[in-house]
A and B are shown apart, each in its own frame.
Chain A
Amino acid sequence: MSTTEEKEQTAGEQGGEHGPEEATHEPVKPGAWRFLIPIVAFGAGFVSLLVLGWVIFPHLLYGEKQQPVDFSHVVHQEAVDEGCESCHFFREDGSFSGIPKLENCVQCHEEPMGESSEEAKFIAEYVEPGKEIPWHVYARQPQCAFFSHAAHVKMAELECAKCHGPVGDSDHARPYQYNRLTKYSRDIWGWNIAGFKKKTADRMKMDDCAECHEESKGHKDACFVCHK
Chain B
Amino acid sequence: MKEVHHKGHGNEHHKGHGRTYKYGMVIDLDKCTGCGACMVACMAENNLPFRKDNTNDRLTQNFWMRVYKISNGRPFPDSEICYIPRPCQHCEGYDHHHHTPCVSVCPATATDYSHETGIVSQIYTRCFGCRYCMAACPYHVRVFNWWDPKWPKGMNKYLNPDVSVRMRGVVEKCSFCYHRLQRARNKAYVEGRREVHEDEYQTACTQACPAGAVTFGDLINPKHKVYKLKDSPYAFRLLEKLGTNPKVYYVSTKDWVRKAGKVFLGNEGRG
User: A196 an interface residue at 8 Å Cβ cutoff?
Assistant: no
Alpha-carbon separation in the docked complex, A146 to B178 (Å): 11
Contact B165 A227 (CB under 8 A): no
Which single residue of chain B is at the shortest CB-CB distance from A156? Answer: B189
| Distance of A148 Cα from B184 Cα, bound (Å) | 11
Q: Any chain B CB within 8 A of the CB of A90?
A: yes
Query: Among residues 119 to 139 in chain B, which have CB atoms less than 8 Å away from a CB atom of chain A?
Result: 119, 121, 123-126
Contact of A94 among B114, B162, B187 (CB under 8 A): B187
Task: Give the one of A93, A94, A95, A154 with max B CB within 10 A.
Answer: A94
Which residue of A92, A144, A150, A224 is within 8 Å of B189 (Cβ)?
A: A150
- Answer whether residue A223 sits at the interface, using C-beta atoms and an 8 A cutoff: yes
- Least CB distance from B182 to A in Å reads 6
Determine how close the nearest CB of chain A comes to the CB of B124; give it in whole angstroms: 7
Given known pairs A219-B14, A224-B119, A228-B164, the reply for A150 and B186 (CB within 8 Å) is yes
- Check if B116 is an interface residue, CB within 8 A of chain A: yes
Residue of A nearest to B13 (CB): A219
Tell me which of B165, B179, B190 contacts A150 (CB under 8 A): B190
- The minimal Cβ–Cβ distance linking A101 to chain B, given in whole angstroms, is 16
CA distance A144 to B164 in the complex (A): 5
Q: Which of B123, B162, B185, B186 contacts A223 (CB 8 A)?
A: B123
Query: Interface stretch among B1-9, B15-23, B81-89, B257-265?
Result: B15-23
A3 CB within 8 Å of chain B: no
In the complex, the answer to whether B190 meets A154 with C-beta atoms within 8 Å is: yes
Within 8 Å of chain B (Cβ to Cβ): is A217?
Answer: yes
- Chain B: number of interface residues, binned into ranges: 35 or more
B117 proximal to A (CB < 8 A): yes
Interface size of A by Cβ–Cβ distance < 8 Å? 23
**A151 and B185 contacting across the interface, CB-CB below 8 Å:** yes
B104 on the interface (CB 8 Å rule)?
A: no
Interface contact B16-A94, CB-CB below 8 Å: no
Question: Are B190 and A224 in contact (CB-based, < 8 A)?
Answer: no
Shortest CB distance A32–B (Å): 59
Min Cβ gap A203→B in Å is 19
Contact with A along B174-211 (1 / 0, CB 8 A): 01001100111111111110100000000000000000
CB distance from B206 to the nearest CB of A (A): 19
Contacts of B116 on A, CB cut-off 8 Å? Answer: 222, 225
Taking CB atoms and an 8 Å cut-off, the chain A residues in 90-122 that contact chain B are 90, 92-95
Please state if B16 and A224 are interface contacts (CB–CB under 8 Å). Answer: no
A151:B189 contact, CB within 8 angstroms: yes
Identify which of residues 39-79 in chain B touch chain A, using a CB-to-CB cut-off of 8 Å. none
Query: How many inter-chain residue pairs (CB < 8 Å) link A and B?
Result: 84
Give Cα A150–Cα B164 distance, bound, in whole angstroms: 20
A222 interface neighbour in B121, B126, B188, B194, Cβ under 8 Å: B121
Cα-based distance from A227 to B191 in the complex (angstroms): 23
Compute how far the CA of A73 lies from the CA of B206 in the bound complex, rounded to whole angstroms.
46
Selected contact of A219 from candidates B16, B113, B178, CB within 8 Å: B16
Residue of B126, B178, B185 near A148 (CB, 8 A) is: B185
Q: Could you tell me if A155 and B189 are in contact, using CB atoms closer than 8 angstroms? A: yes
The answer to whether A151 and B186 touch across the interface, beta carbons within 8 angstroms, is yes
- Cβ < 8 Å to B, chain A residues 147-182: 148, 150-151, 154-155
Q: CA A225 – CA B186 in complex, angstroms?
A: 12
Bound-state CA distance A90–B16 (Å) is 26
Q: Which of B16, B178, B192 lies in contact with A217, CB distance below 8 A?
A: B16
With contact pairs A155-B189, A219-B15, A228-B164 given, residues A144 and B183 touching in the complex (Cβ less than 8 Å): no
Q: Are A224 and B14 in contact (CB under 8 A)?
A: no
Docked CA distance A217–B111 (Å): 21
Beta-carbon contact of B179 and A146 below 8 Å: yes
B163 lies within 8 A of chain A by Cβ? yes
Interface centre among B18, B179, B190 (most CB of A within 10 A): B190
Q: Given contacts A94-B188, A94-B189, A150-B189, are A224 and B15 in contact (CB under 8 A)?
A: no
Query: 13 extra interchain contacts, Cβ-Cβ under 8 A, other than A144-B125, A223-B121, A228-B164?
Result: A93-B186, A94-B183, A94-B188, A94-B190, A95-B183, A144-B164, A146-B182, A148-B182, A217-B17, A218-B16, A224-B112, A224-B178, A225-B114
21 example contacts (A-B, Cβ-Cβ < 8 A) are as follows: A90-B190, A94-B183, A94-B187, A94-B188, A94-B189, A144-B124, A148-B186, A148-B189, A150-B187, A150-B189, A150-B190, A151-B186, A154-B190, A155-B194, A217-B16, A219-B15, A219-B16, A224-B114, A224-B175, A225-B116, A228-B179
5 shortest A-B CB distances, which residue pairs? A94-B186, A94-B187, A222-B114, A150-B189, A217-B16
Give residues in B with beta carbon < 8 Å to A. 14-18, 111-117, 119, 121, 123-126, 162-165, 175, 178-179, 182-192, 194
